[in-house]
Structure formats: C-alpha cells, structure tokens
Amino acid sequence: MSIHAMTSPHARAALAAQRRNSTISSLLIAILGTFLVGLILFIITMSIEQKTNLEMIPFKTSLTDDPPIEKPQTRTEVERKPTSPTSAMTPTIVANMASAISIPTLDVEATELNLDFGIGDDFGLGDGTDFGTGAGGAASGFGTPTKLSGTLGGFLYDFKQDKRGNTRKDYTVGNNADFIKFAKKFQSSRFKASGLRDHFKAPDELFVRYIAIPFSNANAAPTFFNVQDIVKPSGWMVHYSGKVKAPKSGTFRLVGFGDDYLGAAINNNAKLIAPWPNIRPALEKRGANSRDQPSHKSPFGPNLVYGDWFTLREGETIQLDIGIGENPGGKVGFVLMIEEKGKEYTKGSDGRNILPPLVFGHLANEDYKALREFPGWQFDLNDIPIFQAE
C-alpha cells in the first residue's frame, strides 16, 4: 500500500516564488560578472595599447637656446698624405614640435697627415726655416734616417777627431790650411770614402733627395746625424755616395755653391768644385769646372760655380759622390743644381737660367714646399730630371 504526500496550494506558491528569485539572482550575478570581466579586459587592453602606441618623437637641434658646441680637432703625425675621408649624410627625422633636449651632430675636421719631424737649429728648432727629416716622405736638410725610394745615403766625418774619436793634433779649428789638407785628400781619393777613413765617422747614415740647405747654424749637421754631443760645429765633411740611373740622354753640367765646401764627382771624376772663394783656388781641379763662369750670384752672396759638361745615356748607371763641409763654424749653406745643354730655361732677373735641383727619387709635397720657400732663391720645379738611386 503506497502513501502519497500532497502539497498545499500555499506551499506550491512559496516554492514557485523561491525558484523565480533564484533565477533572477543568477541572471543578475551572471550579468554583473560579465560586466566586471569586460571592465577588467578593457582596462588591460587600454594599458597595453597605451604602452605600445607611444609616439616616437626624434629631437630637433635648437638653433637659439643651445650653447655653442666646440668642434673637436683631430691631429695626427704620420708618413703620407692620405686620401681625404668621404663624408656621410646622417639621416634625420624632425618632429613637428621643438624639444628642450638637443643631440648635436659633431662636425669633425680631419687634418692632413704629415710625417715630418724637424731637427737642427735652423731646421725647426731654431729660426724656423721649414726643413726637417722624417719617415713621412720628406728628405730635406741633411737627410732622413729612413731609406726612402731613390734617395742618396751619406755619413758625417769629423776632421778634428781620428777614427777612434781622439782629438787630432794636426788640425786647428779655423785654420784654412788644415781644412784644405783633408779636403784635398778626399778629392785625391776620387771622392771615395777611403779618403775620409782616418777621421771619426758618425754611426748613422742619412738619406737625401737633393742638396739645398739655406743659411743655417753649423751645428745643424752634427744634430741631424745625432752626434751633436761629440762633434763640434766646425771642421766636418758629409759624404753622400751611391749609384744612380740617368733619367734621359743628353749633355749636362752641375751648378752650385757651398759654404764652406761643395764638391761632386761623376764616375769618380770631379765635375764640380764650388767652395767658398777664400779656399777655392787651393781646391780646384782641372776638368772639374767650366772655363766659362757666368757672373751669377748664389743664394749666399758669392757667385755660383758652373761645372764641366758630361754626357749621359738614358738608363745608364753612374757612380755619384757629393761632399759638403764646414771649416771654422758659424753658418753653412749649400745648393746643387743641374743644367741640360741646349735646353731653354726661364731667365732670372740677373740673366741666369733658373735651374732645377739635382734630385734623387721623386719629391714629396714637403720637398716641393721647402724648395719653393728657399730663402732668396728660385728653382725650376716644373721639369726636373730624376736620378733614381739604387
């Protein structure tokens, strides 16, 4: 037998009301939850968008408010003039508004590289004559310690000391006869180093491209050869020697002057003896100087000396020896040029042919500058025969 419970109308109404309230509450909770989730997602989305969409504003250099920027200067000391570096355009984005902060573009100006370093009283350390020695390419003055292409090497000898560095008793500073005695021995050896072997020899060899030394202190030579502490500025001789190739065929002569001594030989035969006039008669050699001596002043006062003519063939290798020396001390100066027979040269105001220097190897820019600015003198620098030393 089953028993069935029957609900009253009042109980059924209460249950229906409770279900309705539960449904409404669930809907409200669902709506509120959805709203809150949407609000949270909206806030997160806005935050991410704000971070990722920031406007990038480059800076524009202010032309009026910023302090002036001092341009840095780059200076170096090296051997050849290099090709100037190319400049690059820096791309710039300019905003439509000025910024309080500016990023300046540095304008760096590179200077020319220069390998020269000067030594000697009148070669950068004294009265400012623009000569020097250096590995950068110039070979002016008494020479550079670097064997540059085509240059002619030489050593300094001291007449006042024997080969062991002891003071000689047979040499008196300022005595012309003593200087002439040793200079004649050098010439009698046919300008060979053996004619100087009894004298102290500076250990360093220097290399020159030309002989063109303006009036300078006599201690410039010992300073160049790095023996200024042991060789006094008098009674010295520098001997440059080597084999060179003739650049062209023709007939030539050497022209120059030395204070106190200048002599040159081709294939061991004297072709120019051009010392100071007070010692010249005792040192002249037959066949060295031309019989015709035009009256043209040298850069140092006395007249230029013109050597005897000699003939060369293009490509011919010849032995070349040059001696330059000083007797009492004080000032020195030397210039050595070459003249080609039959060639038309520009004339100076005194009627002399403006001649090129005797050159060994191709000149560097610094060499051209030194020759152009040689005090009181003009060289032909447009058509220079280059004698390339081996």
Instruction: Say what the pLDDT of residue 17 is.
Output: 72
What's residue 127's pLDDT? 39
Residue 27 has a pLDDT of: 78
- 225 touches 206 (CB < 8 A): yes
> In the CATH hierarchy, which fold is given to the domain comprising 152-389?
Jelly Rolls (2.60.120)
The two beta strands, 388-389 and 331-340, are unpaired
- Residue ranges for the chain with pLDDT beneath 70: 1-12, 14-15, 45-137
Q: What is the pLDDT of residues 287-325, one digit of tens each?
A: 999 999 999 999 999 999 999 999 999 999 999 999 999
Domain locations along the chain: 152-389
pLDDT at 104: 42
**Angle in degrees, CA 118, 121, 122, rounded to 5:** 75
What local confidence, expressed as pLDDT, does residue 61 receive? 43
Q: What is the pLDDT of residue 11?
A: 59
pLDDT digits (tens, 9 = 90+) for 23-53: 787 778 878 878 887 778 777 766 555 544 4
User: What pLDDT does 45 receive?
Assistant: 67
pLDDT (0 to 100) of residue 155? 98
In the numeric block, the tokens 């037959």 are attached to 286
CA 295 to chain centre: 38
pLDDT, position 26: 77
The residue to which tokens 């003055």 are assigned? 141
Tell me, what's the pLDDT at 28?
80
